[in-house]
Amino acid sequence: MKGLELARRFFTDVAFPAFKEQAPLTLGSMAFGLAGPGSECYGFDDEISRDHDWGPRVCIWIPEDLYLEQEERLQHIYDRLEEVFLGYGPGRLLDTRVRRDGVMSTAHFYRTYLGTDSPPVTIRDWLLLPEEALSLCTNGKVFLDPLGSFTGMRRALLAYFPRDLWLKKIASRCRAIGEHGQYNLWRTLQRGESIAFHYHKACFARETAALVFLLARTYRPFAKWIFHGLGDLGQLGSAVHGNLLAIVRSDGKQTLQAATERCVGILIDELVNQGLAVRRGPFLLDYGVQIGRTIEDPTLREGLNSVD
């Protein structure tokens, strides 16, 4: 069973009935779900994942004032819930200082992973939010949220980047992919610089995956899961994933070059199909320049620095 489904059933069968019986007056202020760090929050968990921080568990998000007043009592109810459920558990905590489940304030959850509990409004607000952190705060599932405060912030984040910032990020990725995979990769190979060659190959793979997430308008997870996550991004993600595997496994210049060109070609096709660029040659760096010129915000358009 996947951890997210286990959490849903644990909420329905165990956690919700317990809080309904023991804390009925606060139930209307409690949001239940599972989100944040952990492979199960993405649906990526497997048997290997179960060695730590995996098992029957649920997050309970409550307002800050209620947390200050009743956190100890509510957490005591949670701690007394059965540790083994449907044959799973008890879970082993990797770091007891980090609370991944149980009672926490909504504001603290967002401050912990985003650095703020206020929804971003301006482009500057968005620039301060790491994409991986945005992914952590919008993954998983919310099972119940009567007040709507937790899901309200979540909806604001899922509205995604403002268009100009989105274009800036796409342009930055196009430039980086071109530099690593269509320029430096071959120069380091010709010079026999093995370490630099593998570095640029890895950078090409990472930047390519990051661009696919942008084109799918989905926040990318941490590097540990970014390539696994390509499989959830439809035909584009699957096609790029297959070519990245070919690049990693290639043992000759011709096969490596063919896979790299196919990968770049897929990305250019998508940029053209989405109306972000006009087809002009095979070099992705040129498309980055072209897309950059369509940005309306003068600060973003004229800035030379890349935006991660």
Tens digits of residue pLDDT in 244-292: 999 988 877 888 889 999 999 999 999 999 999 999 999 999 999 999 9
149-158 helix and 131-138 helix, angle to the nearest 10 degrees: 140
Answer yes or no: is pLDDT of 298 > 70: yes
Answer yes or no: is pLDDT of 98 > 80: no
Of 22-26, 104-108, 247-251, which range is least confident?
247-251
Q: How far apart are CA 37 and CA 139, in angstroms?
A: 9
Three-class HEC string of the chain: CCHHHHHHHHHHHHHHHHHHHHCCCCHHHCEEEECCCCHHHCCCCCHHHHHCCCCCCCEEEECHHHHHHHHHHHHHHHHCCCCCECCECCCCCCCCCCCCCEEEEHHHHHHHHHCCCCCCCCHHHHHCCCHHHHHHHHCCEEEECCCCHHHHHHHHHHCCCCHHHHHHHHHHHHHHHHHHHHHHHHHHHHHCCHHHHHHHHHHHHHHHHHHHHHHCCCCCCCHHHHCHHHHHCHHHHHHHHHHHHHHHHCCCHHHHHHHHHHHHHHHHHHHHHCCCCCCCCCCHHHHHHHHHCCCCCHHHHHCCCCCC
Give the CA angle between residues 140, 142, 144 to the nearest 5°: 165
Of 48-57, 125-134, 175-184, 254-263, which range is least confident?
48-57
Answer yes or no: is pLDDT of 303 > 80: no
Q: For residues 143 and 8, is the Cβ–Cβ distance under 8 A? A: yes
Q: How far apart are CA 65 and CA 62, in angstroms?
A: 8
Answer yes or no: is pLDDT of 111 > 70: yes
Give the global pTM: 0.93
- Residue 278 — left, alpha, or beta (φ > 0 → left; ψ -120 to 50 → alpha)? beta
Q: For residues 277 and 271, is the Cβ–Cβ distance under 8 A? A: yes
- How much is the pLDDT for 89? 79
Pairing of strands 141-144, 31-34: antiparallel
Which residue has 């401050």 as its token pair?
111
Q: Average per-residue pLDDT in the chain?
A: 93
- How much is the pLDDT for 253? 81
Pairing of strands 59-62, 31-34: antiparallel
